[in-house]
Structure 1
């Protein structure tokens, strides 16, 4: 049987493999689809997802996260059975609401009748997600990331192939719809096979109240998170239209590939680890700062590289029809850099049993910062104003998070910025050098090579210790 450190090491390896295959394959499929389809197609999907993604938060009610967080001696089979059947019944109810009420409303809201046809299909995941979430929670608790990786990768590949076939057959926007839906149907039987778990027909009021209490806060947090992630799509789609939303959607996709996908891999692994360390605050703080540094050593170079080279790469990769997405990509990349200042803080709060605080923070971010800045920016400056509103909202949220990290977890500003200063310095120097050389007219693909070489040289000479420390987390298993 593997030790705790060995399990963590295995988890990192398999989630990294999942990223390499899953995310790379998804990106390639999106790249091909973007060349075949049009911004309007992405805009229609963006309009639809605004409603389906927000409603889908309620389908699982955060019970998967509650099952992961709950301590071993306070978790029984009844908790899993209760969560499963509650999720099934609740999912059916939510799906009926989506089909008969949300779909027609969304179509009328945007003046796009096809949305009422798309929503019932795109929302099928609401029925299936509660089933999958319980199985995934069991695998995460046991740190069985190899099984999770295999399921997610195989599902993504099948869905991508189906969507590509549909796009080449002239299905248009429906290729994007089925890309999102097929994943659930391919994954479900694999989850059952991986866990060898089938629910008993049991329901415990006590177990329900215990997991629902935690899940309620988590669901509220996820709801605010979805509102935050979709309100810009809602506003752009309503005010500026489907084509502009298509540009914005692609820009957000490109910038979130690094931020969301890489940090999600780390967050998925560290959530159960942080949960085990919730009674050891010093260990929790030390490990959090190491994860923060590791994340930024990866994300900073990617984001500054996107700012430098997106104006050359996007027309080549996606075609000239997407050139209007370039300034949006560059602006949102700045937002990613800002958000990395407190990356994984939400995982720290949830794992240490503070979902109520996470919920309050999400509410403040949505109501006080995000919505007003997005609305104002879009009305004044169109989709570029939307992007800048998003960036300013992230900056405000970061300041609030830094304050709370100090008050609750005793993580001082100098400790946070101490973890960030070297990754930022090592990245900003190649960025500035490359930027000024680009102005001389040297071919951009040569500058990509120069940028990468400068980064590697600076890391080799000035960050050996830090890189070795990061490797000790992910490779040498010297974690705690």
Structure 2
């Protein structure tokens, strides 16, 4: 089977998994918003923050390195495997032992138990990480997708059962751990055909991978502060309840971007890694992937911006109405974010991961004082607007870096983005006309508006973007 067919099949299965997970998560959050206090979401947001921070030092960029270098050597893989296990144990100990200090900063006693419970995610994840990487490298996206679906269902069931039994924040962590444990077991079973650990551990033989990962780790560390300075400051200054509102708004609005874009990159990275010796082929791949992401994300978040005041009370209840302004701000931010995801694989494949570090350092130097001032002065909405403003700066820097790595591309990108932008405007006009002439209140009007907007965008895309011949060929490929 050719790489192109594998990519198409991978896209099919991963899309199914992504859509399923998105629907499942939205449904889960809608239910949990009625069972859990806002502070529970804030507490779990802090534990996730700490896990993500420690994971920066844990991963060493092995995923990108193994795929980029197409590693099959069992000795190298064994050394990476045992190093991963060691790092997982160290990260577990760091998170578990630092819990009391974090309780002092956030002034939330309930955080202690949640953090200690969440720390177990490190040894669980690192027992299966290398198999997940190898399955991606071999383009086994069907099995990865089916595993994600099965584990997501299991995790959601555990979360809901625990929530109904009054576990509050621990119910979210319990669901996460159960899904991670099950996924680790399945990845171990599926991945053994590509790698079985042998008793071998020599760090000097993975020197190239460690060096490759150093810039990646530095970029991720600075990127982490860039992406999470708002959560860090909100939790410390405004409390876990306000952080809970902020977290829910972020999950609603930015979720399509943060969920869909990494999946698209995950599918495409092993394919475009084989093009890294041809700069022109790499540029064309970058443009195609970026435009594809734009076609998916722009209508979703434009529609959410327009429909937020209708959708939020229906899905999450009247108590979450304060998140509507945040959702609108984050919808715009999500559109900006979707153009940044394709920069990282280009940097890795052109041997310029240091560019990502430099970009994040510049953005961070701007973002910290701006968001700190907003947190002290204007509350949640001010922080969200400050984050949006600095995201514009980050987007500009991303395009500058891509220009340096791939050469002139911006005119082609703008030309390709005219259609999805115009299609989204047409969608907005139809929804606004419906609101004005027919009505806006109630579930029925909301559903009709969403359906009309979706039909307009899909119809215009099918007429002016995809030919019937392309659709026919795609159906044959699938």
TM-score by length of 2: 0.93
C-alpha displacement of 1:247: 0.7
Q: Which residue of 2 aligns with 1:21?
A: 20
TM-score by length of 1: 0.92
Q: Which residue of 2 aligns with 1:218?
A: 216
Give the whole-Å Cα distance in 2 for the aligned partners of 1:378 and 1:437: 38
Q: Which residue of 2 aligns with 1:423?
A: 420
Cα distance change of structure 1 residues 474 and 212 upon mapping to structure 2, 3 Å threshold: farther
C-alpha displacement of 1:362: 2.5
Contact 2:159 2:172 in 1 (8 A): yes
Counting only pairs closer than 5 Å after superposition, residues 233-382 of structure 1 correspond to structure 2 as: 233-365=231-363, 367-382=364-379
Query: Match for 2:144 among 125, 145, 148?
Result: 148
1:130 aligns with 2:130: no
Cα distance change of structure 1 residues 477 and 409 upon mapping to structure 2, 3 Å threshold: farther
Give the whole-Å Cα distance in 2 for the aligned partners of 1:217 and 1:413: 26
C-alpha displacement of 1:60: 2.5
Q: Which residue of 2 aligns with 1:161?
A: 157
Q: Which residue of 2 aligns with 1:53?
A: 52
Give the whole-Å Cα distance in 2 for the aligned partners of 1:65 and 1:313: 38
C-alpha displacement of 1:448: 5.1
Contact 1:155 1:183 in 2 (8 A): yes
Give CA deviations for 1:86-132 in whole Å, capped at 9, x if unaligned. Answer: 111122122212211x2111100011122122112112111222222
Give the whole-Å Cα distance in 1 for the aligned partners of 2:333 and 2:196: 43
Give CA deviations for 1:315-366 in whole Å, capped at 9, x if unaligned. Answer: 111111111111100111011122334442222222333222222222322x
Between stretches 394-403 and 346-355, larger displacement belongs to 346-355
Q: Which residue of 2 aligns with 1:5?
A: 4
1:178 aligns with 2:177: no
Q: Which residue of 2 aligns with 1:40?
A: 39
Contact 2:44 2:169 in 1 (8 A): yes
1:195 aligns with 2:194: no
Give the whole-Å Cα distance in 2 for the aligned partners of 1:83 and 1:127: 15
Cα distance change of structure 1 residues 259 and 387 upon mapping to structure 2, 3 Å threshold: same
Consecutive unaligned residues of structure 1, counting only runs of 5 or more, are: none
RMSD: 2.4
Q: Which residue of 1 aligns with 2:405?
A: 408
Cα distance change of structure 1 residues 458 and 156 upon mapping to structure 2, 3 Å threshold: closer
Give the whole-Å Cα distance in 2 for the aligned partners of 1:470 and 1:423: 20
Give CA deviations for 1:297-328 in whole Å, capped at 9, x if unaligned. Answer: 11111111111111111111111111111110
Between stretches 387-396 and 288-297, larger displacement belongs to 288-297
C-alpha displacement of 1:452: 4.3
Give the whole-Å Cα distance in 2 for the aligned partners of 1:109 and 1:470: 60
Contact 1:218 1:355 in 2 (8 A): yes
Contact 1:79 1:211 in 2 (8 A): no
Cα distance change of structure 1 residues 37 and 334 upon mapping to structure 2, 3 Å threshold: same
Consecutive unaligned residues of structure 2, counting only runs of 5 or more, are: none
